[in-house]
Structure 1
Amino acid sequence: MKGRSILLAGALAFTLMAPASVYAQGVMGGAQDGAEQGAHSAGPVGAVVGGTVGAVTGGINGLIGIKQRPRFHQYVIEQHRPSFRYQEPVAVGTVLPDEGVQYYDVPAEYGDVQYRYTVVNDEVVLVDPGTRRIVEVMP
């Protein structure tokens, strides 16, 4: 019981210290998705922790909700987008080259997504259009 109280207090403190910019980018969707996934995996405590983590990560790079990711991935496959071949690792933070990469808008049905998507080395990625930086590699 003591460990549970510490975990809940830590989750609350983490939520209160998260930067305001995260809240402006869609925390509610991330919190809801995280809480649902956490509750499914670990009950009430998992819901609290999942909601907290989901709020932060959902606001930063999870702009396509957890539940929508498989459907979005299927959408991209059905679009038959060509895969750009890249010699570097495909990972969050990688900046893609100026030329040769084709970017596509994320349809509105997947939310108010500020990023664009592309396919790199057969992996679907979300990219910040201003910096060409990968912000999410879709599972």
Structure 2
Amino acid sequence: MRAQLLVASLLIAPSTGASFAQDVLLGPAQETIIREYVVRERVVPIEPLPDVDFSVGTVLPDTVELHTIEQPDLDGGYSYVVVGERTVVVEPGTRRIIHIME
């Protein structure tokens, strides 16, 4: 019975939490590379916009300025924006938020 509950909870977990999906997309090593890059670049954070939902899966409007992450050690091309104290990682082609780092 416990095994069945464990399997059921593992099947449900991926669909219930954005933080789980975030871990699949970017691992700890990638997060470290991005975090160090953002600190080095000193991009001025923006304030959260009342009409924009900054959560994984949201497509950001053109009014949000994205910054390219230019790191050869990082697989994939990503952009980012700093919102308050969070770094929001974005797919540049689609402008879709793929990861949020607190």
Bin the TM-score by the shorter chain.
0.5 to 0.7
Return the match for 2:32 from 58, 62, 70.
70
Q: Which residue of 2 aligns with 1:119?
A: 82
Q: Flag the 1:114–1:75 CA change in 2: closer, same or farther, 3 A.
A: closer
1:108 Cα shift?
1.3
Tell me which of 58, 66, 82 is aligned to 1:94: 58
Q: Give the distance between the partners of 2:56 and 2:29, measured in 1 at CA.
A: 20
Percentage identity across aligned positions?
29
Aligned residues: 88
What TM-score do you get using the length of structure 2 for normalisation? 0.61
Q: List structure 1 runs of 4+ shifted beyond 4 angstroms.
A: none
Corresponding residue SS for 1:74 = helix
Q: CA deviation digits over 1:82-103, x for unaligned, max 9?
A: 2233223421012212124132
Q: What are the ranges of 5 or more consecutive residues in structure 1 without an aligned counterpart? A: 15-52
Structure number with higher relative contact order (C-alpha < 8 Å, ≥ 6 residues apart):
2
CA contact (8 A) 1:118 1:126 kept: yes
Asked if 2 retains the 8 angstrom alpha-carbon contact of 1:92 and 1:137, the reply is: yes
Structure possessing the higher radius of gyration over alpha carbons: 1
What amino acid is the match of 2:98? V
TM-score normalized by the length of structure 1 = 0.48
Q: Which residue does 1:80 correspond to in 2?
A: 42
Matched residues in 2 for 1:100 and 1:113: separation? 21
Q: Which has the higher helix share?
A: 1
Q: What whole-Å deviation, never above 9, does each CA across 1:56-108 have from its counterpart, x for those lacking one?
A: x63xx22xx31342353133122111223322342101221212413212411
